[in-house]
Every structure is written in C-alpha cells, then in structure tokens.
Structure 1
Amino acid sequence: MATLIPSSDLPARGLRLHGVHKEFAGQTVVDNLNLEIEEGSFVALLGPSGCGKTTTLRMIAGFDTLSSGRISLGSTVLASDHQQLPPELRNMSMVFQSYALWPHMTVADNVGYPLKLKGYKGSDYQRRVREALATVQMEPYAQRRPQDLSGGQRQRVALARCLASEPRVVLLDEPLANLDRHLRASMEDSFRDFHRRTGATFIYVTHDQAEAMALADRIAVMHKGQLVQWDAPEALYQRPQNAWVAGFIGQGSVVRLPLSSSERLLSSAQVQQALAALQNKPSATEEVLIRPQHVELDPAGVPATVTHCVFKGERYQFVLQLQDGQSLQAYHWQGLPTGAQIAITVRQGWRLQEQPAGSTRPTLASVA
C-alpha cells in the first residue's frame, strides 16, 4: 500500500515520522509510516485493535525503539535505527489509560512528581502544582489519594501532572477507555480546554471514531500497521479513501452501482440513474458509499423493501433491500414495518477507490 505523506511543509518545531518501521519477533507492527504533525495541533491515531497506533505512540515517547526510520521534533532527532534519545529528554508527557498514579502519594504529590525530577523546589514548585490542579478543577482534592477519587477525577489528576511539566508534546493512550459514557463526554471538554490552555501538540490514540472526530484537528487512520488516510475529520467522513475507511468511519452502506461518469462525488441524478439500472443486472459496477442521512423516502424514487427497523430515540434506523438484493441504511422520523414496500431517493453518493490488495473491509455498522 502506498504511504500517504502530506504535501505541506512542516514548521521547524513540528513532529516528523519518516519511514518508521517496527517489528516484533519478525512480525511487522508498524509499516513504513510517514507522518508530519504541525506544532500545536491535536492529532488522533485511529484504528482497530492491533493496527499499530499504540506502538507508534510508544516509539514517539521513547518507550519502544524503531526497527528502521526516523522520528524528529523540530531539528532534534528523537529516534532512528541507530540512536535513541531517552524519554525523559524528549520534553513529552504521556497520559495512560490506567492513569498511572502513585497510590501512596497525595494528588498534589502525584502532580508534582515530574517537577521534582526536574529539580523544582520551594515556592516555584508549589505554584506550579497549584496552577496545574486549578486548571483541571482539582485543587480542593490536593491532599486526597488516588483511591479516594472517581475515575474521571483520577484522569484529571493525570492531566494536571502532564500540565505541570509544560511539555511540548502530550501523548494520550486511550485515556477515556475506562470511563462511562457520561464521564467520557465531560472529559472530552476537559481535553479540548487543556489543549487550548497549553498550546502543546496533542497526539491522541483511540479506537473510538466518535472521540477522534470530536477532538482532533486531523486524524491518521491506521490499518494493519499502515497509514490508510490522513485528513480532517469532515473529509474522512465525507470523502473516505476506500471501502475500508468508509466502513470504519461513520454509519453508511457500500453498494456496487453501474456508473457512467468519472466524478467521485455523485449527484442525486447520477445515483438515481445507477440505482434504476440495477434491475438490468449490469456487468460493470463500482463501489459507492451512501450515508443514511442521504436516503429519503420519495414516491417517485426507486423501489426498496424494509428488512429491519430499530427505534433510536430521535429517529428510526432502517435497513432497506434494493432490487438486486443489496442493502442500504436509512433514517426516518416515522417507523415502518418489516416487509414494507417503499420508494427512495438518494441525494448523493461518493465513489470509492478500489480496495487495496490484501485488505479486509470492516463490517459496516448495522442497525441491530
């Protein structure tokens, strides 16, 4: 698979991964990864378990060595296949999924621990700890121990510890995975505020596309150790590179349609014409992504059958069967019984590139 390299020039203080490769026991985990991250940006490494995103983060942090390639921050080479700058000299902080707080220390001592390692003492030390705790609204809990805090509070302490050391780069390894849905939403706000206050570069590892979309300026989608798309969240959703990305990002259906045009963004008329042509069983078809919000009930549209319907609170979600047996997802404000014969109009579609050799498309999100 071709590795994607952004064409824009990287600012002098940005983070650059060039040809980064990592093997464990002869098995490739990260495969020739090229990535350029602007200083002060919020970037997500997104992908399913085993795609290499956490290994990439650990190589940036200095916890894992490279098999080949180079990682640099500005003009400083952090790691290559023949040198390795120790983690403590990289001016980075890492927030772990497990919080990694010392249980025998108070909240204040946990936050101040990296400052002590850097030699801070006295009033300067106390001021930095106090300011870091105030930033995450944990100053009243300074003398408590981690076991006396909730999961969300522990994560705030981990953020405060990170803030106190004033890093250039903040690395976050699935930091919300252990929190319930309500706390996750609250902590997303904290991360956004934390990023705004510090101005540091954030690199956020997650398998949760909703988290990545809500937080990041740009997202690196990884699959089997390779970078498959590097884009803004809106572009990933609206213009996925291929069927694998289309299935991994957001709700949607990939159908094969006979197309007479070369455009990637297909108009309603183009999609409707292709849908109508399915009854003639065309031999040449191409993959097209259709998002459920672009499917509308329309008496003048093409026929479809409701095969599944689930109430989602603010709307109903359907699976519709087309004339040739392919399925589409759709939303509607009113429920319809299974087996109902309806007609639909599709407002737009997105032509996908051919699937890379050896790739396996993820299962598209189902209604059930």
Structure 2
Amino acid sequence: MTERSFTELRLDGVGRRFAGKDALVDLDLTIRAGEFIALLGPSGCGKSTALNCLAGLLPLTTGSIWQRGPEGERRIDTLPPEKRGFGMVFQSYALFPHMSVRRNVAFGLQMRRLPRAEVVRRTAEAISLVQLDEHASKLPGQLSGGQQQRVAIARAVVLEPSLVLMDEPLSNLDAKLRLEMRSEIRRLHQSLGLTTVYVTHDQEEALSLADRLVVLREGRVQQIGTSEELHTRPSNWHVADFMGFRNIMEVDVTHVSGTEVAVAAGELRLRGTATADVSVGDRVVAAVRPEDVLVGTADGPDGTPATVEVAGYQGRELAVEVRTSDGRALHLRTEQRLAPGDAVTLTIDPQRLLIYPLAAGEHVPEPLVAAVPS
C-alpha cells in the first residue's frame, strides 16, 4: 500500500535551530523501503524535531531530504507536508471527538475527493486491519486508549502512505496496553509492507519494534544500528547508560593486553573489554548491565565483597542494590532471595564489562539517590 512508492529516503546533514540553539545537528540517515526505524533518546535529544522535519512540520535550518523511486530521485524537504505522501500518528491521537470511528478513518480520503465507493472500501479495509469492525459506529470517547490508538493508526494507513511517522504513540497507555499495541504496530508494519519511523524514549519498546535504531543525544547521532548491536555493543558510555547499562563508573586502567583491560577504583578490581584504544593510567568508564553482575556467598572466592542495601521483588527475580566496602553502589538482578544486610561477593564476566575512553574534562555523574530500578 503506497501512495508513491520509493526505494529509499535519504536525510543529508539535516539540522534545525531554535533561537540560535541547535536542536538537531547533521543528521545523516538512509531509510530503505519497508524498514522500521526508531529514533531513540531522552527528552530534549532531538528525536521529535527530526520527525517533524521529516514530516514537513518544521523547515530545515541545514541539509536536505531526498526520496528515490522508480522515477528517479527528488528533493522533498521543499514540499509542504500534504505533498510528501506521509501518514502521521500523534501521541495525543488527534481524533475528531464528534465523528465515529468510520468517519474519522474516512476523513482524509474524503478530503482528497476520492469516489465514494473507494472511500467506503478502503475505510472498511483499514478498520478491519486494526480489528475494530464492531466499534466502527462508536465515537472516540466510547473507546479505550488502545482502541483510540488503533483508530489513529487506521486513519494514517488508509491513505496508503509511502512512509508512516509515529511520535511516541504508546506513551499515554498503561503497561499492559503498551505491550499489546507493540505487537499490533509490528503486525501492521509487516502485513502492509509499511516503511515506519517511530519516535520513543523507551529503549525496550524500540528494541522490540525496530529493524534499526538511531540514538540521539543533545541533537547529535550517537549510534545507528540493529537492536542486537545497540544492546550488546553501545558505541560510547552515553549510549550504554541509556540502553540499560545501569552500572556506569569511572575507573583507572592498570593493565592492557589486547582488548582485555584490568581496571581499578578504590577497592574495586575488575577485568573488562576495551571498546577503543586505552593505555595504562587512563581514566576510563566501565559499564555493565545489572543482570551481568553475578552474586555469590560472602565466603566465595575471587569476588568483590559487598553488602545488600535494598532488595525489590520483581517476580522471578530481585532488583538489588549493594554497596562495596569503599561506598560504591552497584545494581544487580538475581533469582537469589537476598535481604538488606546480607553479605555477598560480586563477579563480572570480562566480556560483559565494557570499557570506554573518557574525554578530557568529562565525568560520569554520580547518582543522587541510590534506588532499586523500576
């Protein structure tokens, strides 16, 4: 289903400034037809700005956007939004409250003055795709949040767009609905052969949905890659921090042998894997996920001694915060039933502890409050 088919969409050096301040800087990205791309990052990183530039809702300060198709290549950043052939799903749904589901979905087709029979057919198909046939005559206020979001998706795909843009469409839903809608969005993407660009601040959501992720920080691209690449090999410690490497600490390099690095901080002695060239004496950042911190008994060999401070039940496992004898807090996940005050030892597989260079003058912020991860 495409209004105007394309083989790739290319963003060349796309940038946007507000009041002289950069919100997005030199975004280079090629999107292939049929791909699901997630723009990911914390609030204020530039992901929604990038989406709005792509949609035509914001003019570019720098750069250009090109679309390549059977008829060749054309520049589209100079076109108004309605001429780009894109569909958009907003966080707020933006449904007409006085119109039924059927009329909401049909509205865009009617504005294009398509024949009535085609409007009826395509509207029915879109409503069926999002499994809302029995709700077609209802008003948005009579639907649940998840059903309203499906109406918004149907309204976007009924136009048969070449690209669907989604701006944090699940952020207003509860946890159960978010999980259900993830599957729904992925199903529609695959069954319709859509090309999708999806904005989110939720790394779990992005990992489960996207073919490739674009991680942004302060308006600049930090890494572009598959879910597996970003999950296992973040390009720098900022990406690692955002992608769930909750234990981020400054340490000193004491030994280097190829990519294997020994590091130390206070009484902490660890071995890890360097992601770039480092030398003995360098101040670096060590990063490891909570699930990769292994816990043993207090009398276990070759481990770092620590004391449990907080333990929170999370179903099959506990989210635990421990503190080493020199006051360093570390987070871990374990199926062992630990309680505050328990003495343990900690070990980490060197392949799981990633070592990143630290730029001159850069420091890892200390957590203000030690807490169990939610």
**TM-score, normalised with respect to structure 2:** 0.85
**Aligned pair partner of 1:205 in 199, 202, 221:** 199
Please name the residue that 1:354 is paired with. Answer: 357
Equivalent residues in 2 for 1:188-267, closer than 5 Å: 188-255=182-249, 256=251, 258=253, 260-261=255-256
The answer to which of 201-210 and 282-291 deviates more is 282-291
SS in 2 for 1:300: coil
| Structure-2 separation of matches of 1:120 and 1:362 | 57
Gaps of at least 5 residues in structure 2 are: 271-279
Pairing 1:334–2:339 present: no
Q: Is the 8 A contact 1:133 1:139 kept in 2?
A: yes
**Distance between the aligned counterparts of 1:54 and 1:186, measured in 2?**
24
Matches within 5 A, 1:12-91: 13-74=7-68, 75-79=73-77, 84-91=78-85
Residue-by-residue CA offset, 1:171-204 (whole Å, 9 max, x unaligned) = 0001011111111111111101110112121000
Tell me the amino acid that sits aligned with residue 253 of structure 2. Answer: P
Amino acid at match of 1:141: H
- Asked if 1 retains the 8 angstrom alpha-carbon contact of 2:286 and 2:356, the reply is no
CA positional deviation for 1:117: 2.4
Amino acid at match of 1:351: L
The aligned counterpart of 2:318 is 316
Q: Which whole-Å deviations, capped at 9, do the CAs of 1:295-319 have from their partners, x for residues lacking one?
A: 2234123232123322222111222
Q: 1:167 matched to which residue of 2?
A: 161
Structure 1 residues 243 and 342, CA gap change in structure 2 (3 angstroms): same
Tell me, yes or no, if structure 1 residue 107 matches structure 2 residue 101. Answer: yes
Q: Contact 1:288–1:351 (CA<8 Å) still a contact in 2?
A: yes
Closer, same or farther: CA 352–366 of 1 in aligned 2, 3 Å: farther
- Following the alignment from structure 2 to structure 1, what is the Cα–Cα distance between the partners of residues 139 and 153? 16
Shift of 1:358: 8.0
| Residue correspondences, number | 348
Q: Which runs of 5+ in 1 are unaligned?
A: 1-10
Whether contact under 8 Å (1:304, 1:320) holds in the other structure is no
Q: Is the alpha carbon distance of 1:318 and 1:355 closer, same or farther for their aligned partners in structure 2, counting shifts above 3 Å?
A: same
Residues 309 and 160 of structure 1: is their aligned pair in 2 closer, same or farther, counting only changes over 3 Å?
same
**Inter-partner Cα distance in structure 2 for 1:138 and 1:362:** 48
Aligned equivalents of 2:365 and 2:30: distance in 1?
A: 27
Greater strand share, structure number: 2
SS of the residue corresponding to residue 260 of structure 1 reads strand
CA distance in 2, matches of 1:12, 1:360: 44
Q: Which residue of 2 aligns with 1:344?
A: 346
CA distance in 1 between counterparts of 2:20 and 2:53 reads 17
Partner residue, 1:304: 305
CA distance in 2 between counterparts of 1:360 and 1:224 reads: 16
Higher helix share: 1
SS in 2 for 1:129: helix
Q: If the length of structure 1 is used for normalisation, what is the TM-score?
A: 0.86
Question: Aligned partners of 1:71 and 1:314: how far apart in 2?
Answer: 48
Matches within 5 A, 1:264-303: 278=268, 284-298=282-296, 299-303=300-304
